[in-house]
């Protein structure tokens, strides 16, 4: 468990969600806003009419790499590359990037359907030879690292929620132990891939109200005194769901806001009623941002930092519960305290 | 700080099921690459692989049936079609062997799991019945008469199966960092021990790309050697022209040295340190100057508190591709300085192929030969050393030597690098 004494500063954030590129303002959107839903473009051919929380088209200057580079990227990789650039910019880390760490929760393979279709129609030689780079899920991390020159300790963790919290834990440990002084941590994914959506359907999540989403979120963590803290990371754990009561007992009296990132309305409601004993406001980020699988916990952390940076909260507990059933617990405190 | 030690190992490789088969094959300097038999590869550009010999269902049932959960798990995995995923079977077999060899029992079920897995197994044949009028007809998916696993096996299914087989209660981390993932999984396990987050961890990797999509995809990338002969992969050789795809698994029980001592289990090696870096160079190629790989080795030595002179042997990533091998030699020279002239290097990929996500794990297993038998594995098919690879690289015949510190390098597609330092237990 990450102890309360090994605090790490959050000095930058990158996020892209159904509300577009950027993290500032996301807190207010989640606490007060309405879901932003539209019919999924990515599923239009295979699963027409699916309501989703999809990332709007990005302007060329906001997007990742150039056209040729984007052809090698899965959707998750493309979104990760976008937020990696944004988080680095937000943290003002323009120098020494070869020593910056990167730890990401990444989702399933995300090859382009046109390549798969070509393969089925005319055999493997019909598809783009570089199709493999869309399929390999470690490239969700690597494309951004290559574009941005991020060369420190790194790891990609498969995530349907919990793996992203583990990525953050690993980043925190890496910074705390001095393996590197600065690291990016978060997740990127899209539930709006036809195969992913079909699998979620077969597992029964769609029938239970899961709204597919997509996005990416990254925190820039630092132990360097010269980096200015936006917030402090106080705690980061992955727990079995039954461990929640113990955790809540430890947080009582300090946390003033709870954010949940739970994959469906039913499960969000259950979490909400469990944390009601804290007597603090509770908001669910997935209700607004959709279930973005590996990205969902990270988007909730971005929301938390925004609430802290605005002074709308002083200590935020983020509870994530992904489709893997793992409970992630991250506690963040405002920098001004 | 607790020091992590390896107390159990299990291996599934082209030499067969079990660590003895693997160590025996390497010790005898044999190669196990041959024609692909898992599917009809005659129309594929690549027709050889380091393929695991077929595991007969009764053998699988007998091995896993030694555990209380084994038979039931096999039944449920079989019914769901999950056993079609070769890496799942390999992982279970290797884990059972590692668990048994470390004499693990109920006390060790508190273990965390740190496992590297390759890509989701996708079954091209599953898409076929849904493909009509030039596209996939998704609406037929629920009714189509297909095997139960369709499109792709959920990636963490293998991790769940490992937990269930051994009754593990600790947290699970699934590493998906391409060819560096196996080394990263073992390094992560050691980190959990050092940080006091776990006292015992089952770790390692399992992977198979010996299927039409895997072999076809790698062929399209141009990574495999165009030769379709058992000696196709020739690490550090002047005639090298590509890798050979392998498959298999290596799993370890890693625990704190104090814990191993307390329960009277012999440690096979200490995990002294590790270093992780990212090339941040190109999608399709490693850094030609080996600078990031060098930093991974330097970080591993720094973590271990060792000078370059302490290193006796390097188990190289050594893929046999034109780009990797000279870059790795530069990295070794950069990291070890003058000592690079005296260190011994080899690669086992000519013998068993490139196990992709599992390569780092199986190469750490191979490195245990140095401590267990005072023997350094050879480099199968290295007959004419490339002048650019001017280190003391062992040829096909293993070399007797006593070394106390080994580095194992793994470099992944996408630029992820990891070096793990192992030490002899004295």
pLDDT attached to residue A2 = 42
Is the pTM higher than 0.90? The answer reads: yes
pLDDT bracket for residue A199 (50, 70, 90): confident
Nearest Cα of chain B lies from the Cα of A4 at a distance, in angstroms, of 15
**B309 has pLDDT over 70:** yes
Burial A4-29 (b: 16+ CB within 10 A, else e): eebbbbbbbbbbbbbbbbbbeebbeb
Judged by CB atoms closer than 8 Å, whether chains meet at A142 and B131 is answered as: no
Which among A133, A142, A152 has the least Cβ separation from residue B277?
Answer: A152
Least confident interval from A102-111, B362-371, B414-423:
A102-111
CA A271 to chain CA centroid, nearest Å = 19
Residue with the bigger pLDDT between B148 and B5: it is B5
pLDDT attached to residue B25 = 98
List chain A domain ranges. 8-222, 231-334
What are the pLDDT digits (tens) for B93-150? 999 999 999 999 999 999 999 999 988 766 666 667 777 777 777 666 555 544 554 5
pLDDT attached to residue A1 = 39
Touching check for A251 and chain B: CB below 8 Å? no
Residues 261-320 in A contacting B (C-alpha not used; CB under 8 Å): none
User: Phi and psi dihedrals of A10, rounded to 5?
Assistant: -95, 120
Contacts of B142 in chain A (CB under 8 A): 202
Find all residues with CB under 8 Å of B84, minimum gap 6, and list them.
B121, B123, B147, B149, B153
Find all residues with CB under 8 Å of A332, minimum gap 6, and list them.
A10, A231, A232, A233, A234, A301, A304, A305, A308, A315, A316, A318
> Could you confirm whether domain A231-334 is CATH 3.60.15.10?
no
Could you tell me which chain B residue has the CA closest to the CA of A328? B171
**A139 has pLDDT over 90:** yes
- A17 within 8 A of A36, measured Cβ to Cβ: no
What are the pLDDT digits (tens) for B20-32? 999 999 999 999 9
Judged by CB atoms closer than 8 Å, whether chains meet at A157 and B213 is answered as: no
Nearest Cα of chain B lies from the Cα of A328 at a distance, in angstroms, of 12
CATH architecture of A8-222: 3-Layer(aba) Sandwich (3.40)
Which among A129, A154, A163 has the least Cβ separation from residue B220?
Answer: A129
Judged by CB atoms closer than 8 Å, whether chains meet at A195 and B151 is answered as: yes
pLDDT attached to residue A252 = 55
Residue with the bigger pLDDT between B324 and A252: it is B324
Touching check for A141 and chain B: CB below 8 Å? yes
CA A292 to chain CA centroid, nearest Å = 8
**B280 has pLDDT over 90:** yes
Judged by CB atoms closer than 8 Å, whether chains meet at A132 and B220 is answered as: yes
CB pairs under 8 A between A and B: 172
Contacts of B155 in chain A (CB under 8 A): 108, 137, 158
Residue A95 has a CB neighbour count (10 Å cut-off) of 8
pLDDT attached to residue A276 = 87
Judged by CB atoms closer than 8 Å, whether chains meet at A142 and B219 is answered as: no
Same fold, A8-222 and A231-334: yes
**B306 has pLDDT over 50:** yes
- For residues A140 and A176, give the distance between their C-alpha atoms in angstroms, rounded to a whole number: 25
Judged by CB atoms closer than 8 Å, whether chains meet at B152 and A149 is answered as: no
- For residues B72 and B291, give the distance between their C-alpha atoms in angstroms, rounded to a whole number: 49
Instruction: Report the pLDDT averaged over residues A160-167.
Output: 96
**Which site among B44, B283, B289 would you substitute to test the A interface, given the most A Cβ atoms closer than 10 Å to its Cβ?**
B283
Instruction: Report the pLDDT averaged over residues B28-53.
Output: 96
- For residues A327 and A320, give the distance between their C-alpha atoms in angstroms, rounded to a whole number: 6
Judged by CB atoms closer than 8 Å, whether chains meet at A135 and B191 is answered as: no
Structure tokens at A293: 């699988």
Which among A145, A148, A158 has the least Cβ separation from residue B415?
Answer: A145
Instruction: Report the pLDDT averaged over residues B25-47.
Output: 96
Structure tokens at A111: 């090859």
Structure tokens at B28: 């005898």
């Amino acid at each position: 468990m990450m102890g309360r004494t090994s605090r790490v500063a959050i000095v930058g954030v990158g996020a892209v969600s159904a509300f577009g590129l950027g993290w500032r303002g996301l807190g207010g959107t989640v606490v007060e806003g309405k879901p932003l839903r539209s019919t999924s473009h990515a599923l239009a051919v295979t699963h027409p009419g699916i309501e989703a929380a999809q990332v709007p088209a990005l302007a060329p200057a906001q997007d990742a790499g150039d056209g040729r580079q984007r052809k090698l990227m899965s959707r998750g990789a493309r979104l990760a590359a976008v937020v990696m650039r944004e988080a680095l910019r937000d943290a003002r880390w323009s120098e020494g990037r070869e020593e910056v760490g990167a730890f990401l929760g990444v989702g399933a393979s995300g090859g382009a359907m046109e390549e798969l279709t070509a393969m089925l129609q005319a055999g493997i030689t019909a598809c783009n030879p570089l199709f493999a780079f869309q399929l390999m899920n470690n490239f969700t991390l690597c494309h951004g690292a290559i574009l941005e020159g991020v060369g420190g300790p790194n790891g990609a963790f498969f995530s349907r929620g919990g793996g992203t919290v583990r990525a953050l834990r690993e980043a925190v440990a890496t910074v705390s132990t001095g393996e590197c002084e600065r690291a990016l941590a978060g997740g990127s994914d899209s539930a709006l891939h036809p195969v992913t959506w079909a699998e979620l359907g077969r597992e029964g999540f769609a029938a239970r109200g899961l709204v597919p989403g997509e996005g990416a979120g990254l925190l820039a963590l630092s132990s360097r005194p010269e980096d200015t803290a936006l917030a402090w990371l106080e705690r980061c754990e992955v727990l079995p769901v039954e461990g929640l009561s113990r955790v809540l007992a430890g947080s009582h009296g300090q946390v003033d806001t709870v954010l949940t990132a739970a994959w469906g309305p039913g499960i969000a409601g259950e979490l909400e009623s469990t944390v009601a004993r804290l007597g603090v406001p509770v908001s669910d980020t997935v209700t607004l941002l959709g279930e973005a699988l590996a990205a969902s916990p990270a988007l909730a952390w971005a929301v938390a930092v925004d609430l802290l940076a605005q002074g709308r909260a002083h200590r935020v507990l983020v509870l994530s519960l992904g489709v893997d059933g793992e409970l992630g617990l991250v506690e963040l405190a405002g920098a001004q305290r | 700080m607790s020091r992590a030690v390896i107390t159990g190992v299990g291996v599934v490789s082209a030499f067969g099921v079990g660590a003895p088969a693997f160590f025996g094959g390497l010790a005898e300097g044999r190669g196990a690459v041959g024609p692909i038999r898992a599917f009809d590869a005659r129309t594929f550009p690549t027709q050889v692989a380091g393929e695991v010999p077929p595991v007969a269902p009764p053998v699988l049932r007998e091995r896993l049936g030694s555990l209380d959960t084994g038979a039931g798990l096999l039944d449920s995995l079989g019914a769901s079609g999950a056993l079609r995923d070769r890496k799942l079977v390999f992982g279970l077999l290797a884990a059972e062997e590692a668990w048994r060899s470390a004499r693990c029992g109920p006390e060790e079920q508190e273990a965390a799991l740190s496992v590297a897995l390759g890509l989701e197994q996708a079954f091209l044949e599953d898409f076929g019945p849904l493909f009509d009028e030039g596209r996939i007809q998704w609406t037929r998916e629920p009714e189509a008469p297909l095997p139960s696993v369709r499109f792709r096996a959920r990636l963490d299914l293998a991790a769940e199966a490992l937990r269930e087989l051994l009754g593990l209660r600790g947290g699970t981390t699934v590493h998906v960092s391409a060819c560096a993932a196996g080394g990263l999984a073992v390094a992560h396990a050691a980190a959990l021990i050092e940080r006091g987050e776990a006292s015992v961890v089952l770790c390692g990797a399992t992977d198979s790309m010996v299927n039409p999509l895997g072999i076809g995809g790698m062929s399209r990338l141009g990574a495999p050697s165009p030769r379709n002969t058992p000696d196709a992969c020739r690490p550090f050789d002047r005639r090298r022209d590509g890798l050979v795809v392998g498959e298999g698994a290596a799993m370890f029980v890693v625990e704190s040295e104090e814990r191993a001592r307390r329960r009277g289990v012999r440690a096979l090696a200490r995990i002294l340190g590790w270093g992780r870096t990212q090339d941040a160079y190109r999608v399709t190629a490693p850094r030609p100057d080996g600078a990031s790989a060098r930093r991974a080795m330097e970080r591993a030595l720094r973590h271990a508190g060792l000078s370059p002179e302490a290193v006796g042997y390097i188990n190289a990533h050594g893929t046999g591709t034109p780009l990797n091998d000279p870059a790795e030699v530069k990295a070794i020279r950069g990291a070890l300085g003058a000592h690079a002239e005296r260190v011994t290097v080899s690669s086992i990929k000519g013998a068993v192929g490139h196990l992709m996500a599992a390569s780092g794990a199986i190469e750490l297993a191979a490195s245990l030969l140095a401590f267990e038998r005072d023997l350094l594995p050879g480099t199968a098919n290295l007959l004419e050393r490339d002048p650019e690879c001017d280190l003391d690289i062992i040829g096909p015949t293993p070399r007797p030597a006593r070394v106390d510190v080994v580095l194992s390098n793994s470099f992944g597609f996408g630029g992820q690098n990891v070096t793990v330092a192992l030490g002899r237990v004295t």
